[in-house]
Amino acid sequence: MSAADTIDDEPPPPSAAGWTRQKIFGHALVGLWGLAGAGLVWFLATSWNTQLFEKYGPGYLSGLGVTLSLVAVSMVIGAILSVPIAYGRMSRNPVLSWLAYAYVYFFRGTPLLAQTFLVYYGLGEFRPQLQELGLWWFFREAWYCAIFAFSLNTAAYQAEMLRGAIESVPRGQWEGAASLGLHRLQIMRKIILPQAAIVALRPYGNELILMVKGSAIVSIITVYDLMGITRFTYSRTFDFQSYLWAAIIYLMIVETLRHAIEWIERRLTRHLKR
């Protein structure tokens, strides 16, 4: 009698199919989300008001522009500032590295809103001195103050990302390049940075998204970004849809950015896939 004879020919019992508890619960939750989405569409459709849209719609568009340019400008300035800070963090000079560490610790350890207040309201206390230096025109404007505070803040975060990415490249890469007779700057540009870019992409993308979301707080210091326009519209109309439209626009920006970053990451890591 062979082993095969002892095995029944019966098929295995059907898996516990049908409506398990998990399935019912999951469908109920998806149904709730569906209801919430339908409710949102219904609310926006029934409270649609062409007059309001014509009056405040263009404001939203300009607010969107303000938000995006604030984020773009601060990200670029922050990226430039982050290079010396990251250099300081990695330097062997204790004074330099301590200074850079203190900078990063301060800007990462305190709320962005408090930093913005410190710049916008706090520096106003030094108006005579700033006027003497000819800098008052800059710190008088909420817009410039916002860019100033946001750039300093994101520089701290970006410096840490840059440092992490550069340190993630193995030492052997430096040594190998040096043994080929490359100059330090050449090594950085041709060997280290291309490899660090892959590591840094995701944190940079996250920082970009965090900046888009964080930029909403400039509305508190009277900058009319997307959030500022929304608060202005709400204070005029007391119409809750003003907040809902802002939510939809922010979600669309963030989702677009997230998918764009994922696409870029797939492109950059093509050669690593098999």
Partner 1 sequence: MPSAWTLLSWGPEGWLDDIAYGVLVTVSLALATLPVGLAIGFLIALAKQSKEPSLRLAGNVYTTIFRGLPELLTLFLVFFGGQIGLQRLFQIFDPNATVDVNAFVSGMIALGVVFSSYASEVFLSAFRAIPKGQYEGGYAVGLTNWQTMRLVVLPQLVRIALPGLANLWLILLKDTALVSAVGLSDILRQTSIAARVTKHAFLFFGFATLVYLVLAIVSSFGISAVERAVGGRDERR
Residues near partner 1 (CB under 8 A) are: 20, 22-23, 25-27, 29-30, 32-33, 105-106, 109-115, 117-118, 121-126, 212-217, 219-220, 227, 230-231, 234, 240, 243-244, 246-247, 250-251, 254-255
Closest distance of CB 28 from partner 1, Å: 9
Closest distance of CB 242 from partner 1, Å: 10
Residue 80 or 121 having the CB closest to partner 1: 121
The amino acid occupying position 166 is: I
Phi-psi map region of 18: left, alpha, beta (phi>0 left; psi -120 to 50 alpha): left
Residue 106 or 137 having the CB closest to partner 1: 106
Closest distance of CB 196 from partner 1, Å: 22
Residue 20 or 168 having the CB closest to partner 1: 20
Residue 18 or 181 having the CB closest to partner 1: 18
Residue 169 or 216 having the CB closest to partner 1: 216
Long-range contacts of range 125-132, CB-CB < 8 Å, 24 or more positions apart? Answer: none
Contacts of 207 (CB under 8 A, 6+ apart): 75, 154, 157, 158, 161
HSE-CB for 183 with a 13 A CA cutoff: 3
Closest distance of CB 134 from partner 1, Å: 20
Tell me which residue has tokens 């939750």: 29
Closest distance of CB 110 from partner 1, Å: 4
Residue 140 or 213 having the CB closest to partner 1: 213
* Whether the Cβ atoms of residue 161 and residue 203 lie closer than 8 Å to each other: yes
Closest distance of CB 219 from partner 1, Å: 7
